[in-house]
Amino acid sequence: MKKYHVSAHKTSTGAYFGASRYCDTIEEAQAEQKDLISRGYTVEIYEESPEGLKKV
């Protein structure tokens, strides 16, 4: 089963805030992405594979 890694970050007044979540489905990952973007984060989704994480 594929897993998806949602990576988010934002910089506010010089401080770096990062968040990372793992999801079982692409739909779940996209919902997380939408939520985090609405909070001002820059978000990327990666898919786990035998070669490592691949950007979706």
pTM (predicted TM-score) = 0.82
**Of 40, 31, 29, whose CA–CA distance to 5 is shortest?**
29
Q: Would the pLDDT of 1 be above 70?
A: no
CA gap 12, 42 in Å, rounded: 12
37-53 residue pLDDT tens: 998 889 999 999 889 89
Helix intervals (H) in 3-51: 26-38
